[in-house]
Every structure is written in C-alpha cells, then in structure tokens.
Amino acid sequence: MAEIHEECGVFGVYHVENAAMLEYYGLHSLQHRGQESSGIAVSDGETINSYKGKGLTVDVFQKEKLSAMKGNTAIGHVRYSTAGGQEAENIQPIVSKGHNGCLAVSHNGQIDNDVELRLELENHGAIFQGTGDSEVILHQIQYERGTLLERITQAARKLDGAFSFLVMDEDRIYAVRDRYGIRPLSYAPCRQGYVISSETCAFEVMGIYESYDLKPGEIVEFSKDIVKHYQYTNDISHHMCAMEYIYFARPDSVVEGKNVHTFRKESGAVLARKDQDLHADIVVGVPDSSLSAAIGYAEESGLPFETGLFKNRYVGRTFIQPTQAMRDQSVRMKLSPVESVVSGKSVVMIDDSIVRGTTSRRIVQLLKSAGAKEVHVRIASPVFAYPCFYGVDTSTRAELIGARLNVEEICDYIKADSLRYLEVEDMREVAGQIGLCLACFDGKYVTNLYTHGKELED
Ligand code: SF4
C-alpha cells in the first residue's frame, strides 16, 4: 500500500473503427496509473480533435462525447501529475496545429533534461502552453527538420530520462520507448489495426492475449496498415522499473514477458524462505497490491492465507490529503481489520513497500487494536531510500523513512514485532533475465540526473 503514485498511462488505437470508444476502454483499464485527468485525441484522416478534462475516464467521457469523436485512429492518456502540476494545459494528449500539420503526443515517464531543452527551444521561438515536460517532446519534434519519422528520431536522441510516448498525426501513430527501457510499452494486433498500451491488461479486456513489447531505443510506426520498426539508437540498456512489478502494474499485466502476479508471488515466496524460524498463525496481505506476494508467502510457508484486512474500494484519492492527520484518517477510511480473523493470532503482514512509514505504522496499529497478538511485517521489496526521477511521484529523500532509519529503527517506529525486507539481490533473482531499474533502493540511477542531483541531498 505504497504512498507513491505512477505518473501516467498511454493508450493508442490505429486503424480500428470507432477508435474513440476503444480508446475509452483502454484508458479505463489503465486508470490505476493516473486518476487526476483523462484525455483522448482522435484523427479522422484529415484533422485531429481532442477532448480532455480533470477526473476519471468515466467522469470525463460520456457516450455522446465519444460518439461525436469520429475517426479510426486515436491516442489517449490518464495522468497523475508530478512534473508540471495540475494545470489544464498539462492534461494530455497535447495537440498542436503547426506548419507541419497536426500532431498529438501522450507521454508516460519523466524527461530528465527538460529544463535545458525547454530553454533552448524557447530561445528558438517555441511558446509553451503548460509547464510539463511532455510538451518539450512535442516542441522538440516540431523543431527538428525532415519527415515526421526523422524529426521523432532526432528528438528522441536528444531526450534523456524515462519515456514511453505516442505521437499521432492525421494518419499515423509512432510509439517510442527510451533507450533504458524504464517504462513499459506494448502493442498488439486488434481487428484490422493495432492497439498500443502502457500495460497489457488493457489488451486482455479486449480479448487480445498476444502482444509485443517495444525494445529500448525503438520507434514503431503504425501506418498504411503495417508496422515498421526503427532503432533510434543502439546505445541501449534494460532497466525496467522494478516498481512496475512491485506496485504499479495490474497483476493481470505482463511486463517484459513476466506476469506481474507471478512476480509478486515469487517475491512473497522468497520472503517466506528467509523466515524458517518464525512461528506465526496466519498470513495477511495489505490489499490490493500486496495480495499476490501474501499468497506466495502463504504457499511457501504452509501458513493459511487470510483476509485480515478489508479495503473500502469507494474511497477516492480525493481523501489523500497532504497533512499527517489526514493521511492517518485516510488509512482508517480505506482499511478495516477483520477482528474475527486476526484476534489472538500471530500475524505475518505482507506489504509491498514502506515509504514514509506512517501508513505501515497505522496498519500495524489497526491489526493490534483488533486483537492481533503479534504482527510481523514483511516487505516484498528492498528498503526504499532514494527518490525516483523517472516518472514516479515519490517523497523527497528527507521524507523517506528508509533514508533516515535502519531496519531495526523502522521496526520500532511502525511498532511491529519484527520486520524484514527483500534484498536487492532477491529482486534480481525473481526478475531472472529481466534487467531492472532499482535506483530507489540502491541509489544507482541509470541516467545523468542533470538538475535533479540536489534533490538527493538530505
Ligand atoms: S527509481 Fe524506482 S520507481 Fe523510479 S524507475 Fe527506478 S525502480 Fe522505478
């Protein structure tokens, strides 16, 4: 139950009748990646029309609005704002109508060198509407010369950081992934065309079970009913965000060929193998993202998996307030302990991560107030000690409890009877061949941090 947020989800539809409606279903499946705003841009082959607003996809788009958005090619976006704030101008897709024609861009991630690029573009006359880094992508593409593919290629080579983005003109979509492969991006054939998504769970709701991942540094062009692949750089590495597996992605998604639920279950099993000497009665997962790891722990340890915590699904993010008092209250509103399950028991409580420590402390307190005899906290990720600069809203280093206290001190703070984390090496073992970014755990960032370095200071 991490107190961190994914920044965005992107979804594209190429050459499928009534693209806006399919786009709506795609964004709805990606809603967990961003709930603050939602937007769709549709091309009818001649022009691009867009509609976007603050709120969930179901609130922004009604049937009449979608029916009025004619065309068979579309891109969309769900957003949780960090880079750029909540202004309406930062809601995506960002659409421009310039001398090169119409362009729309949807972006997931964070551009590290956006400040430098923005300054350079402004010096060359670019006028920015919003404050977000995604607009830098659009302006950079417009600034370059040549065909659209050449302009995207040049722009992608200049961008540094984490990005998976879609670019749409009147009759094509280009999907682009950063050279480090930090954010996921997949595509799949759909009827006579294609769909492109941040996560494969959006394909599965459409009955599509075969999909392909973009490679790091790749541009995939969807035009004239065919797919073409280009590598904008061969200087690539494989650093999929570990947090996608731990917390962000839906358990039914497949990221880099590995099902997210399976990854979490295996992480739970590793934790259980380290607990040979622990005598407990039941295993309880903090819903929802820790349930898979709790099942894995229970299977490996032979202890019963129980629903010891119940999640109220109707509490929106509106209630997550910045003050400590409101955060405490929001935990109570979201989670209830099941007294008849935990009372008198020694509980192994599995959670995905500890960020500030306050949420874990409240959950331990909830279980104990419901009569749990002991609460042994097991975290299905390593100690979270460094902020993320790749499109995830984490706290500053000073706010991260893992940056200030050692494991024993954190255990005291959250008032658990014992505390254990996964090690970085355990994560690598579970990932197998998949290369991971683990920077928020080990501080080894894969890019030049440009102006962000100062945020690492205590
Ligand atoms: S720093 Fe952490 S949250 Fe950010 S991309 Fe890397 S693993 Fe993911």
190 as an active site residue: the answer is no
According to the annotation, is 440 in a ligand binding site?
A: yes
Domain ranges, residue 40: 5-237
Instruction: Kindly state whether residues 270 and 340 are assigned to the same domain.
Output: yes
Domain membership of residue 158 (yes or no) is yes
CB 440 within 8 A of CB 384: yes
* pLDDT for res 98: 74
Please indicate whether residue 438, judged by its CB atom, sits closer than 6 Å to ligand 1: yes
Specify the 3-state DSSP secondary structure of 448: coil
- Find all residues with CB under 8 Å of 123, minimum gap 6, and list them: none
Residues 271 and 231 in one domain: no
Instruction: Give the model's pLDDT for residue 317.
Output: 47
**Residue of 8, 102, 190, 201 with catalytic role:** 8
Q: Are residues 120 and 168 in the same domain?
A: yes
User: What pLDDT shows up at residue 321?
Assistant: 47
In a structure prediction context, what are the per-residue pLDDT tens digits for the chain, which is 458 residues long?
A: 556 666 799 999 999 999 999 999 999 999 999 988 999 999 999 999 999 999 999 999 999 999 999 999 999 999 986 555 567 788 999 999 877 789 999 999 999 899 999 999 999 988 888 888 889 999 999 999 999 999 999 999 999 999 999 999 999 999 999 999 999 999 999 999 999 999 999 999 899 999 999 999 999 999 987 899 999 999 999 999 999 999 999 999 999 999 999 999 999 999 999 999 999 999 999 998 899 999 999 999 999 999 999 988 776 544 344 455 666 666 677 899 999 999 999 999 999 999 999 999 999 999 999 999 999 999 999 999 999 989 887 768 888 999 999 999 999 999 999 999 999 999 999 999 999 999 999 999 998 876 666 666 65
- The CB of 392 under 6 Å from ligand 1? The reply is yes
Angle, to 10 degrees, between the axis of helix 358-369 and the axis of helix 324-334?
A: 50
Whether residues 230 and 139 share a domain: the answer is yes
**168 within some domain:** yes
- Amino acid identity, residue 403? A
- If asked whether residues 229 and 282 sit together in one domain, one would say no
Tell me, what's the pLDDT at 442? 96
| Amino acid at site 61 | F
Do 319 and 381 share a domain, yes or no?
yes
Say how many Å lie between the CA of residue 241 and the centre of ligand 1. 5
Domain count, the chain: 2
Residue 443 domain-assigned? no
Same domain membership, residue 186 and residue 150? yes
Say whether both 233 and 269 belong to one domain.
Answer: no
Residue 58 lies in a domain: yes
Domain shared by 212 and 74, yes or no: yes
d(CA 133, CA 112): 9
- Is residue 97 a part of any domain in this protein? yes
SS3 350: strand
Q: How far is it, in rounded angstroms, from Cα 284 to Cα 382?
A: 19
Same domain, 274 and 191: no
325 assigned to some structural domain: yes
**Residue 206 and residue 283 share a domain:** no
- State the distance from the centre of ligand 1 to the C-alpha of 432, rounded, in angstroms: 18
Would you say the CB of residue 243 lies under 6 angstroms from ligand 1? yes
Q: Is 390 in the pocket of ligand 1 (CB under 6 A)?
A: yes
pLDDT reported for residue 333:
76
Instruction: Name, in order, each residue with C-beta under 8 angstroms of 348's C-beta and a sequence gap of 6 or more.
Output: 275, 278, 280, 282, 283, 284, 297, 301, 303, 376, 378
Rounded to an integer, what is the distance from CA 236 to the centroid of its chain?
A: 21
List the structure tokens of 66.
Answer: 């979608």
CATH number reported for the structural domain that contains residue 96 in this entry: 3.60.20.10
In a domain, 311, yes or no: yes
Per the domain annotation, does 457 fall within a domain?
A: no
Task: Please name the residue whose Cα sits nearest to atom 4 of ligand 1.
Answer: 388
Q: Give the CATH number of the domain where residue 426 resides.
A: 3.40.50.2020
State the pLDDT at residue 456: 66
Query: 178 and 310, same structural domain?
Result: no
Asked if the peptide bond before residue 93 counts as cis, ω within 30 degrees of 0, the response is yes
